[in-house]
Amino acid sequence: MELYRERGFDRTTAAEIAARAGVNERTFFRHFPDKREVLFDGEAELRAALTRAVVDAPAGLEPFEVLLRAFRESARGLEASRPFAEPRWRVVAETPALRERELAKHAWLTEAVVDALRRRGVGAGVADLAARTGWAAYQHAVQVWIDDPAPGLDAHLVRAFDDLRALSSTGSSPADGS
């Protein structure tokens, strides 16, 4: 389905994608609600995995500890699939319409994290704040890792949460390696 890489997303028609898949255009739209959705297929599994990781984390952990654990876990899968995922990132990054959809997916995943935290007994307000800011730190780590894969996503993730702690304590600013 990576006609997108050849001609770019905008210059690829739904009819072309369907033809490449040996199928009718109408049939294509029966499998995917729209043209963009093709690139965001695994998100449901990711959501489930994230939810599970949060819910199944050991009791007694603070919300951010739970989130860091869950993100590190899901990051393993992301790191393993980087070779396949990388060309997809490129297409998404250069196409505004796809970036919008990606952000929507992230909001959807964040909601899942909120729900999962609440299932652990975390209050609604704290769950929302923790999920939003934790997700932001996660995305920061992913972005840094995309630009500089050498240290590994896991290391970037741990560092992001450390830096966030340092930022929050109104004492000293963390050292900046970038």
Partner DNA sequence: TACTTAGTGCCAGTCACTGACACAACCGGG
Partner DNA sequence: CCCGGTTGTGTCAGTGACTGGCACTAAGTA
* Contact with DNA (CB under 7 A) among 5, 8, 20, 29: 29
- Within 10 angstroms of residue 12's Cβ, the number of other Cβ atoms is 19
Residue 81 binding target from its own copies, DNA, none, CB below 5 to 8 Å by type: none
Q: Give DSSP secondary structure letters for 112-136.
A: HHHHHHHHTT--HHHHHHHHHHHHH
Six token digits for residue 176: 């900046």
- Minimum Å gap between C-beta 114 and its own copies is 10
Residue 68 binding target from DNA, its own copies, none, CB below 5 to 8 Å by type: none
* Contact with DNA (CB under 7 A) among 31, 76, 90, 119: 31
Give CA 73 to chain center in angstroms: 13
**DSSP 8-state secondary structure symbol assigned to residue 10:** T
52 vs 88, which CB is nearer to DNA?
88
Residues that bind DNA (CB under 7 A): 12-15, 23-27, 29-31, 33-36
